Amino acid sequence: YRAETGQTIHWHSNPTRIKTLSDLKQELEQDSGVPVSEQILMTSFGKLVRQENIVSILEATGQHEYIIFCFDRRYLSVHEEDIEALLDAETPPLEPKLPLFDGPLALKQLYTQLKNSSLIAVCHSFVSVFASFDSYSQSLMKTATAHTQLSKNIVDEHKFQSMALNVALTNLEDHRKLSEASIHDFVLRAEAELERQQALLNSVDHDLHILRHVRIHPSITAALEPNNNQQQQLRLLDFIDIDHINQVRSDTQILCDFLVDQSSLFKKEVKQMQQDEKEFHARVAENSNLHALDATLSDIQIIHQKTHYYRDK
């Protein structure tokens, strides 16, 4: 599919002849008009098409089959007006609007010619009127045939895009579930780490209080400081870097706050993804009705057949 327009890129050669990424890009250039140097190929699973995965992509079947989107590098950062211009350029044109056949004027001109004309001239006048009407009806039939075929092409294209959309929806659901599982795993780990770190924070003051009241035996003090004649009574807290402890406590609190915020944010993101996916499914269901398109196309084809019948009759 052409990514910018959503139109199907129809193959003009046997896909089995494609063996390399270069082969694929050359075929796409021929069938889509996007130069090889400007192509970015991505699968419906969000993977870039590379030489190392080209064979598996082309040979995949069933639920593992890939849809390939061809992006034109030149349109990656253009304005919306440029995309609209591209859509207009690639939209199949309608036949020019035919002017109405002025029957009363033709009859009036014929009546004027009949007044002062010979029998042969009168016959030629009638033949001319019938020829004009026949030419006009042929133009109408040509336009009706072209528009009927265009209607069929549009419906067929819509069916192709509907299938691609279904694949995209399945991929979207898979990616959402994968993201949701990853977020759930992160939140569980974050909450476990948060509980552990919070317990350590809550125990810091209590532990420091204990260290402040634990005295060191004089013999140990003498061994630690043999040149200290003052024999000052030391406590375990004297061997603790309080500034470092406070800095670690502050950093840990920042980490805990970060984990709380991120966990809350990710939980909201999961709910938002679920809601967005639900709304997207609803929009697709509301705006996609293949049965109605088939019924409308059938009506157009029946009218076209009747028009042919009445003209031939």
153-167: pLDDT as tens digits: 888 888 887 877 887
Tokens of 260: 């709380």
Measured distance CA(1)–CA(9) in Å, rounded: 5
pLDDT in tens, 52-89: 888 888 887 766 677 888 888 888 887 878 878 877 77
pLDDT at 300: 92
* 8 A C-beta contact, residue 125 and residue 113: yes
pLDDT at 159: 85
Measured distance CA(229)–CA(219) in Å, rounded: 13
pLDDT at 204: 86
Range 105-121 average pLDDT: 73
Residue 301 confidence class, pLDDT cut points 50, 70, 90? very high
Range 1-10 average pLDDT: 79
pLDDT at 116: 67
pLDDT at 105: 77
* Residue indicated by tokens 């013999």: 219
Measured distance CA(264)–CA(256) in Å, rounded: 12
pLDDT in tens, 234-287: 777 877 888 888 899 899 899 899 989 999 999 999 999 999 999 988 988 888
Across 45-49, 252-256, 259-263, 302-306, least confident range: 45-49
Measured distance CA(255)–CA(246) in Å, rounded: 14
Percent share of the chain, pLDDT over 70:
92
- Neighbour count for residue 116 (Cβ, 10 Å): 7
For the chain, give every domain's residue range. Answer: 15-90, 144-312
Range 114-122 average pLDDT: 72
Average pLDDT value over all residues in the chain: 83
Of the candidates 112, 107, 113, the one whose C-alpha atom is nearest the C-alpha of residue 129 is 107
pLDDT at 134: 83
Cα 5 → chain centroid? 12
Strand spans (E) along the chain:
39-43, 68-72
Third-level CATH fold of 15-90: Ubiquitin-like (UB roll) (3.10.20)
Measured distance CA(147)–CA(98) in Å, rounded: 13
**DSSP designation for 269:** H
Of the candidates 142, 90, 111, 106, the one whose C-alpha atom is nearest the C-alpha of residue 307 is 142
